[in-house]
Chain A
């Protein structure tokens, strides 16, 4: 079974600094996808970034980048120039192939607090 591990229950960062949120995964699939979602206090899950297992370059989306190290099975999220609005829960997820249906398996999340 596939598994996602987020070992940091909470992280603190000062505004304008960069922060890395850790995510490791375990899978026997050769083809898989990794996602990061942001969940602010309102509860909505907001898609941030995606990395495919065959993508040779690390994914980037604005201030978000994904540090993908396939051999280490890690997919860390890097947020550059943190803003107060980045304070939220962040979830790493992996797409699991299940007879053609692409199921997402989520980690337990990391709470990020950005201070002024």
Chain B
């Protein structure tokens, strides 16, 4: 069965510090991968998605970036965090099989607080 891991689970960082959040998927090949952010009491906002190694698309301009160095690894980074980067970051994966539905399955999330 497929599993998705995210770490760290929680993170407190000062403004201006760098960020690296990691997401890995097990039990599937060539998944689509996604990074979402959820502000307190809000819905999910898609930040990045990737359909393959090295292929990253950005949905929202910001000081965040994403990379996919391996098939099942997705990394969210920032060189200098802003207060507005605080939130709950969720990674998700999906696999489209034979034209059927492309359900996204989410990881446990990382709660980031920027002080």
- B-binding residues in A (CB < 8 A): 33, 35, 37, 42-47, 50, 52, 91, 93, 95, 101-104, 106-109
Contact = CB atoms under 8 A, between A and B. Distances in A.
Contacts of B43: 91, 106-109
Interface size classification for chain B: 20 to 34
B7 interface: no
Contact of B44 (A42, A101, A102, A106): A106
Contact of B46 (A33, A50, A103): A103
Contacts of B105: 47
Contacts of B46: 103-104
Task: Tell me if A's interface is mostly helix, strand, loop or mixed.
Answer: strand
Nearest to A103: B46
Given A91-B43, A101-B51, 13 more contacts: A43-B109, A44-B109, A45-B106, A45-B109, A93-B44, A95-B101, A101-B32, A101-B57, A102-B32, A104-B44, A104-B46, A104-B104, A109-B43
Interface of B: 32, 42-44, 46, 49, 51, 57, 59, 88, 90, 92, 94, 96, 101-109, 111
